[in-house]
Amino acid sequence: MKHLVPALLLPILLANSGITQAQQKNTRNRQPNIILIVADDLGHGDVGCYGQQKTTTPNIDQLAATGMRFTQFYSGTTVCAPSRASLMTGQHTGHTPIRGNRGFQPEGQFPLPDSSLTIAEVLKKAGYVTGAFGKWGMGYPGSTGEPLKQGIDRFYGYNCQSEAHNYYPDHLWDNDRRVEFPANRTGDVMYSGDKIHAAAMDFLQQNKRKPFFLFLPYTLPHGDLDVPRDSVYQRYVKLFNEQSLPVPTGPIKGRFEPYPHAAFAAMVSRLDRYVGEVYHYVQQNGLADNTLIIFTSDNGPHREDGGDPKFFNGNGGFRGIKRDMYEGGIRVPFIANWKGTIKAGVTNDQPAAWWDLFPTFQQLANILVWKNIDGISIVPALTGQPQPSHEYFYWEFHEQGGKQAVRWGDWKGVRLNVSTVKDGPIELYDLKNDPAEQKNIAADHPEVVKQIATYMQQAHVSDPNWPVLVGEVKP
């Protein structure tokens, strides 16, 4: 059963949480619209305002120039479904009910249970109209985890993340109705990114007079690398002086892309165009003073399906990519924009994570949840006030032998092969002096390693659906 605390109790509860009266007044007097834009497999370094040199992202850069850019923001984990579950539930992956990308046939992923309380449900209860457009990946059609059963009023896009690899699909989901696109079975007629974005813009138009929560988990630039061969694509082919790859003679997985660098760059540019259209709609329709726009990514850059993070420096110089527990796999771009509330052009070095968005949004919506969550509201950071800090951050990953990671202050601990080795060695890095995690200094700081091991044990709550440690995993 899902329990919500009435807004009338909010000032009392906020007073006991260390939030100032000024902040209480700011959140009590209005319920801002919330637009949460999530790119798919976009690395920390794939955006211009984070140092990207090869691909242009003028609209995302403008969002940062007129808002706040975080330098130490983390995703829920290093792959899609559990990262999104962390965002929706406000829990890290030691607690979330989804901790991996496990799929179901014919389509869909392991579902959020009915007992889960999502931020969409919280906002809906507070009077928001809620929409999600893009890739869901948290419950197959008909399951307890499908969008309409988790607080979403309007959904359009892919239910299943595996289906989302195909940018010219034969179907998408409109709420709980499967919409067929038979023309895509014989040709590239309907590009899903454009179709999904158009539906999102319709949602904005229809609901601009109400408090709304618009969740935009776009699929770009996740593989397959596929984008219309327009002038943007052709410009990147010429810019990179890219030579066409030879057509494979044997079977291939997904679609063949002869110019993968150009395709990836064009996908990022197309994503940037979507962001710009959302941003400019808000500005031009009198919504900017009461709309928080967030742009982020679900994990680090990918190498599959022709992706080349090395060419683009997609991880921003950090170690690792998607599926790694090093910074390049989990540190992501995060930009917050809210005219008149968030100062323009600010860079914020406060460490924070996706599970912090749940309490942030619930504070803005003037409602608290009687629920054990791991996040801390970042409203203070957004409004220039002193920000409470986490004691530690925790991640786990259930593939490649199992992995755990903890950030404690500037210390970062990574443990590999946790499914096969009990209490294995922990790598230790000093992120302040070694942000690229090049020097393992575990032998020099045994007391720090011991504390991080304690945090790993404390943060991981065993779930029979998601065995990962030795003793949980069946031999």
Percent of the chain predicted with pLDDT > 90: 89
Domains 4-390 and 394-459 share a fold: no
80 bridge partner residues: none
pLDDT tier at 11, thresholds 50, 70, 90: very low
pLDDT digits (tens, 9 = 90+) for 303-341: 988 899 999 999 999 999 999 999 999 999 999 999 999
pLDDT tier at 29, thresholds 50, 70, 90: low
The reported pLDDT for the residue numbered 108 is 97
The token duo for 54 is 């090869």
- Among the ranges given (7-11, 200-204, 410-414), the one the predictor scored with the smallest mean pLDDT: 7-11
Q: Is the pLDDT of residue 18 over 50?
A: no
| Residue 351 near residue 425 (C-beta atoms within 8 A) | no
Percent of the chain predicted with pLDDT > 70: 93
Q: Is the pLDDT of residue 422 over 90?
A: yes
Q: Which CATH number fits domain 4-390: 3.90.79.10, 3.30.365.10, 3.40.720.10, 3.10.129.10?
A: 3.40.720.10
- Strand 393-397 with 403-408, pairing: antiparallel
Torsion of CA 281, 210, 382, 47, to 10 degrees: -30
Q: Which CATH number fits domain 394-459: 3.40.50.10490, 3.40.50.620, 3.40.50.2020, 3.30.1120.10?
A: 3.30.1120.10
pLDDT digits (tens, 9 = 90+) for 202-212: 999 999 999 99
pLDDT digits (tens, 9 = 90+) for 102-135: 999 999 999 999 999 999 999 999 999 999 999 9
Tell me the one-letter amino acid at 370. Answer: W
The distance from CA 107 to its chain's CA centroid, rounded to whole angstroms, is: 21
- CB count within 10 Å of CB 83 equals 28
Domain ranges of the chain: 4-390, 394-459
| Residue 170 near residue 184 (C-beta atoms within 8 A) | yes
Straight-line distance from the first to the last Cα atom of the chain, in angstroms, rounded to the nearest whole number: 35
The reported pLDDT for the residue numbered 27 is 45
Specify the 3-state DSSP secondary structure of 316. coil
Q: Is the pLDDT of residue 24 over 80?
A: no
pLDDT tier at 157, thresholds 50, 70, 90: very high
Q: Is the pLDDT of residue 1 over 60?
A: no
pLDDT digits (tens, 9 = 90+) for 86-105: 999 999 999 999 999 999 99
Cα 468 to Cα 403: distance, rounded to the nearest angstrom: 8
The reported pLDDT for the residue numbered 13 is 39
Mean pLDDT of the chain: 94
| Residue 301 near residue 312 (C-beta atoms within 8 A) | yes
Q: Is the peptide bond before 106 cis (omega within 30 degrees of 0)?
A: yes
Backbone angles phi, psi at 379, to 5 degrees: -55, -40
